[in-house]
């Protein structure tokens, strides 16, 4: 059985796709959390 470089590339892409999707979701969640914290701090300081 001969290994073709194209097969290696597709197998690597298959392995990295779920991780990149997870990282993108984590980054979006992180930014959303920071935005919410900044907004609440701004509202608290604005009210007081």
Whole-number Å distance between alpha carbons of 45 and 17: 42
Structure tokens at 21: 């999707």
Looking at residue 40, its pLDDT comes to 95
40, part of any domain: yes
pTM: 0.48
Domain count, the chain: 1
43, part of any domain: yes
Residue with tokens 């001969």: 2
Which residue range is the domain that position 46 belongs to? Answer: 24-48
* Contacts made by residues 38-47, CB under 8 angstroms, sequence distance 24+: none
pLDDT tens digits along 10-46: 665 666 556 666 678 888 899 999 999 999 999 998 7
10, part of any domain: no
Q: Residue 9: pLDDT band by 50, 70, 90 thresholds?
A: low
C-alpha dihedral, 24 to 30 to 32 to 37, nearest 10°: -170
Structure tokens at 8: 């290696």
Structure tokens at 28: 């979006």
17, part of any domain: no
Looking at residue 47, its pLDDT comes to 75
Looking at residue 32, its pLDDT comes to 96
């Amino acid at each position: 059985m001969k290994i073709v470089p194209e097969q290696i590339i597709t197998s690597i892409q298959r392995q990295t796709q779920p991780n990149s999707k997870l990282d993108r979701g984590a980054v979006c969640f992180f930014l959303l959390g920071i935005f919410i914290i900044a907004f609440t701090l701004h509202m608290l300081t604005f009210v007081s």
